[in-house]
Amino acid sequence: MSGATADTAGLARGLIETGAVQIDRQPRFLWSSGIRSPIYCDLRLVMGDPVLRGRVADRMADLIRREFPGTELIAGTASAAIAPAAWIAERMRLPMSYVRDKSKQHGMMRRIEGGPVAGRRVSLVEDTVSTGGSAIRSALAIREEEGDLAGIVSIFSYGFEKSARGFREAGIEHRNLIGFGDLLDAAGLESGSDERAELEVWRDRTGRA
């Protein structure tokens, strides 16, 4: 979806301006997976900008209406996508739930909290998709509880081949609002420039692992 619309470009610039996305030529950011990256996304910072927050919520709601019509419930992955899922559910006037990485070990022992997913068409919200592992696990949890998974929508995706392959193998549709190329465009990195080429090589190499 790189460079799809002027609004997409504006949202990508907004992520950079708020500090929600940082780009460095050196892979100095360490992810929890152990991957070292030249790009770091902390989309929680979008919560602190009410204008950008509203624009993201509107566009994500539009994306779901267009790509996954008939959605009856919005689910978010815990914990980073709980807030975006709430914004989107409010826009669409739909019930919401969120999916834990694993079931609680006390109380009702639930993995999915909020509105029940069984028998409902569910769109799952993720903030950032890198390798796709956490999103796929959450999607499968929805299926295990007899939810009708429409697909996954993310605010940003690195576009790794590994995540695309994982979604295909699990039979999961994925759509993203902002792509890797959109971020590079918003950062002013022109096609063919050395810095952009280095970042694209990193993405392709890391995404195949």
C-alpha to C-alpha distance for 120 and 123, rounded to whole angstroms: 10
In this predicted model, what pLDDT tens digit does every residue of 68-92 receive, in sequence order? 999 999 999 999 999 999 999 999 9
User: What phi, psi does 79 have (nearest 5°)?
Assistant: -110, -15
How many Cα neighbours within 13 Å face the side chain of 80? 17
In this predicted model, what pLDDT tens digit does every residue of 128-171 receive, in sequence order? 999 999 999 999 999 999 999 999 999 999 999 999 999 999 99
**Which of 1.10.540.10, 3.40.50.2020, 3.60.10.10, 2.60.34.10 is the CATH number of 6-208?**
3.40.50.2020
In this predicted model, what pLDDT tens digit does every residue of 5-32 receive, in sequence order? 778 999 999 999 999 999 998 899 999 8
Determine the length of the chain.
Answer: 209
Contact assessment for residue 178 and residue 156, using Cβ atoms and an 8 Å cutoff: yes
Residue spans per domain, the chain: 6-208
In this predicted model, what pLDDT tens digit does every residue of 93-138 receive, in sequence order? 999 999 998 866 555 668 999 999 999 999 999 999 999 999 999 9
Q: SS3 of 26, please?
A: coil
C-alpha to C-alpha distance for 139 and 76, rounded to whole angstroms: 10
* Residue 25 confidence (pLDDT): 87
Supply 3's token pair.
């460079």
Predicted TM-score (pTM) of this structure: 0.94
* Residue 3 confidence (pLDDT): 36
What is the arithmetic mean of pLDDT over 50-69?
97
What is the 3-class SS of 153-203, one letter each residue?
A: EEEEECCCHHHHHHHHHHCCCEEEEECHHHHHHHCCCCCCCHHHHHHHHHH
